[in-house]
Structure 1
Amino acid sequence: MVAMEESGIPIGASTWNAVIAGCVRAENGELAIELLGKMVSVGGVVPSVATFNTVLHVISALRGVNVLRELHAFVLRNAEVVGLGPVDLDRLQESLAAGYMCSSCVQYAGRVFRDVRISTCFLGNLMISGFLDTGQRNQALGVLREMAFGCGHEAQHLPSASLTLVLPEVNLATKRGLEIHAYAYRHGFECDTSVCNALMAMYARGGKICRSDKVFQGLDAKDVVSWNTMISGYATVHDFDLSFELFREMQRNGTRPDDYTFTSVLNACSFACNHRTVMALHGQMIRMGLCHSYVDDMNSLMDAYGKCGFIAEAQKIFDETERKDTVSWNIIISCYGYSGFPQRAIRLFHQMQDQSYKPTRVTFIAVLAACSHAGLVDEALRYFEAMHGDYSITADEAHYACIVDCFGRAGQLQRAYEFIRGMPVVPNACVWGALLSSCRIHGNIGLAEIAAKKLVELDPQHSGYWMLLKDMYSKAKRWNDVSQLRAAMRDNGVKKCPGYSWIEGRDSEVHRFLTADKLHSQSHQIYEVLGGLTEQLMDEGYEIDVDLTYTE
């Protein structure tokens, strides 16, 4: 080509196209774009449709924003001269949008996408992924809406990939989730396993577990993700009986559990304190070869044993975990902290650092909680200061709540209140709740009223705050205040949530009991046994603390 220029031989469009195509095959996109510019400025040759089609193949390989912008401007300037039709122009702009997205220029990609009249599913999915990766959820949902309903583009039948990309990001507080669900069912996605799994996860994340179950029951081709989503969803809303039952049904149906399944069921066991089920799961994990393979499973197993009160087993799992991570250390520190061994928890914290593991914000929550349980106020304050000074970790509400709890357990309520007033962040319910609980223990009604007022402002429908204050008024025999508080609860529509507890039977079945529950199939026998136990306690000298009871 250089020889042709030197000899004065005119270079035609076909020659330019061939050389540019050679650059494309050699994956030299920058040179291809440079030659495209020379083709017009030096050679005076108008690019053909074939020229632009050749350039299409290099656009996605370009990583320089300036080069992409130059090409974009070149296309817009020469489109009419070349006679690019709408379809060819859309193809070019689609490739440009993809190039911008691959270069992390999301805003430029968005502008080009809006100019494309007929966008493909490939471009739509690329735009959705790009917006989600950069945290622009609303823009991603907007692209999906344009693709589905033809707002600015020709409407098209969406592939399942588009729906599964967006559904995990949908907030049920908006109507978008219901819109997408309706679209999915209108277009035959009710049998698409991946779409239904995403819908179940969306509803479960929003606390609408009944809707998740409806999608689940209507799905014929359930896979392990389907079962995991529902097991985890029921555990999240503390319906552990159904979580365990689904796990058993999953295996009866021939679906093999994976590591995420065990993590979800173990988390449910942690809340329900179901020790026998934890042991059974542990044995099954060993038989399936999952133990020691996945650190997440080992961490969940350790946490479940610890929360069931079996610290020795938790320690054994910790010792057997070959590839420990920071989460492993956080769990074992927490296990000792809330099981009455705070000094051991603090020693583990120092051992963790000796082995070059860097503490996180969760680590310090565990350490501060351990100090609180041990009554180590000064030590807690030192760790709190070191967290920012030595580890560059900014304290959040959970850390402040631990310090307030530490002051409260030590009876230093005024100091706890002054600490809250000096917080650089707005105290949340955890912080005020810690103060209120301490006030109840030490009988400080004045500060309790302040804390309760703040808590009611934050969550007016939470009956627990009202009930704690009412207990304190009852204990102090301030019956007028009790009456006023009851009236305020009634006026605000606050209803006391019944208390409940779980008991694991010898058959490994977990039974849940509610206050004054008469619905259990064996309630008559249960109350007979309970009455007999109460009589034995009274014979041994037990007296009911009437100050901690109240009459509705």
Structure 2
Amino acid sequence: MKAAGVSPDEVTMATVISACAHLGALELGRELHQYALLNGFDLDVYMGSALIDMYAKSGSIERALLVFYKLAEKNLFCWNSVIEGLAIHGHGKEALDMFHRMKKAGRIVPNGVTFVSVLSACAHAGFVEEGRRMFASMIRDYSISPEMEHHGCMVDLLGRAGLLQEALDLVRSMVMEPNAVIWGALLSGCKIYGNLEIAEAAVEKLMVLEPNNSAHYMLLVNMYAEANRWGEVAMVRGMMKGRGVQKRGPGCSWIEMDGAVHEFAASEMFHPSSDEICLLLFGLDGQLKLAGFSPESDFDSLT
């Protein structure tokens, strides 16, 4: 577009900044931010919310907050972006404080997206009572019908807190049919607290919804192994073999540093800085042990 001699406007800038957010391309996003400032673009609510979202999703919550506080006008999208950004970075209390500040402003009415971020913040921070209040307030005070995402956050919140029966009751009370994310969140809570009874119920549903997803089977295998129920371990493995379920490849992630994108895959040592990374991890492991941390046992040999 620039090569064709067409000048971008605010809509263009908001769109390409949003593209950077989806890619996690922090350096390019910063360049676009600088371009907008140097070329006299007004930091309106659309570009502002895009910048907040981009910085937050790219790992720079401090810059996201800086943009937010500099905005002369803030609409619902700006508030939602900053609340979500705080939530995904584990700042649960700050996310809730921001939500209450939005309500005190008086002009902005939260929507379903707002409550997804708020409930997610409660889940990650372990604020069970606050999460229950928010879920009830969403329905009672704002007439927002809970969607799949809201139920998922609540199941995650209750599961992390060990309230697995309450989480199961919530799932069974849903108006819509629970999806694999809902049952997966419940299964994760069962893994943390070793609740095999509810885990079996969750896996039974997941085998129907995602019959070829090996992760659900293997999580149940690990739970059976932890309980020394080796007969069930063999049964689930036999079920996987009979259904042709293949174990997934290793998980991978990407991070951008100094303009270069680095890829990391589980259990691989091909990155040029692998030795330095391992040395740092060993050092952190030693510090954790000195602090009295006892890691959860896993079953790498089984998985």
TM superposition score normalised by structure 2? 0.83
CA change 1:474–1:526 in 2 (3 A) is farther
Residue aligning to 1:502: 254
Q: Distance in 1 between matches of 2:286 and 2:170?
A: 46
Q: Distance in 2 between matches of 1:490 and 1:253?
A: 57
Residue aligning to 1:482: 233
Q: Mind listing any 5+ residue stretches in structure 1 that lack a counterpart? A: 1-223, 225-250
* TM superposition shift of 1:305: 1.7
* TM superposition shift of 1:326: 1.0
Task: Report the secondary structure of 2:262's partner residue.
Answer: strand
2:190 is the alignment partner of 1:435: no
2:269 is the alignment partner of 1:514: no
* TM superposition shift of 1:361: 0.5
Moved more, 463-472 or 329-338: 463-472
Q: Distance in 1 between matches of 2:286 and 2:27?
A: 33
Deviation digits for residues 40-91 of structure 1, max 9, x if unmatched? xxxxxxxxxxxxxxxxxxxxxxxxxxxxxxxxxxxxxxxxxxxxxxxxxxxx
Q: Distance in 1 between matches of 2:148 and 2:297?
A: 35
Moved more, 354-363 or 456-465: 456-465
Residue aligning to 2:57: 307
Q: Distance in 2 between matches of 1:281 and 1:339?
A: 23
* TM superposition shift of 1:330: 1.0
Q: Distance in 1 between matches of 2:302 and 2:120?
A: 34
Q: Distance in 2 between matches of 1:382 and 1:503?
A: 37
* TM superposition shift of 1:517: 4.2
CA change 1:497–1:285 in 2 (3 A) is farther
Structure with greater Cα Rg:
1
CA change 1:436–1:262 in 2 (3 A) is same
Deviation digits for residues 501-526 of structure 1, max 9, x if unmatched? 22333x321111223447xxxx2744
Residue aligning to 1:77: none
2:22 is the alignment partner of 1:267: yes
* TM superposition shift of 1:375: 2.3
In angstroms, what is the RMSD of aligned CA positions?
2.8
**Percent pairwise identity:** 35
Task: Report the secondary structure of 1:504's partner residue.
Answer: strand
Task: Report the secondary structure of 1:494's partner residue.
Answer: coil
* TM superposition shift of 1:288: 3.9
Task: Report the secondary structure of 1:549's partner residue.
Answer: coil
2:36 is the alignment partner of 1:285: yes
Q: Distance in 2 between matches of 1:337 and 1:512?
A: 25
The residue type paired with residue 475 of structure 1 is E
Equivalent pair of 1:471/1:549 in contact (CA under 8 Å): no
The residue type paired with residue 143 of structure 2 is S
Residue aligning to 1:214: none
2:91 is the alignment partner of 1:346: no
CA change 1:375–1:527 in 2 (3 A) is closer
Task: Report the secondary structure of 1:547's partner residue.
Answer: coil
Instruction: Give 2:76's match in structure 1, choosing from 317, 326, 329.
Output: 326
Q: Distance in 2 between matches of 1:377 and 1:524?
A: 41
Q: How many residues align?
A: 293
Equivalent pair of 2:21/2:58 in contact (CA under 8 Å): no
Q: Distance in 2 between matches of 1:307 and 1:357?
A: 23
Q: Distance in 1 between matches of 2:285 and 2:176?
A: 49
CA change 1:334–1:266 in 2 (3 A) is closer
Equivalent pair of 1:377/1:410 in contact (CA under 8 Å): yes
Equivalent pair of 1:473/1:479 in contact (CA under 8 Å): yes
CA change 1:319–1:493 in 2 (3 A) is same
Instruction: Give 1:359's match in structure 2, choosing from 79, 93, 110.
Output: 110
CA change 1:490–1:527 in 2 (3 A) is farther
Deviation digits for residues 127-146 of structure 1, max 9, x if unmatched? xxxxxxxxxxxxxxxxxxxx
Residue aligning to 1:388: 139
Equivalent pair of 2:20/2:54 in contact (CA under 8 Å): no
CA change 1:411–1:277 in 2 (3 A) is same
* TM superposition shift of 1:468: 2.4
Q: Mind listing any 5+ residue stretches in structure 2 that lack a counterpart? A: none
Equivalent pair of 2:61/2:86 in contact (CA under 8 Å): yes
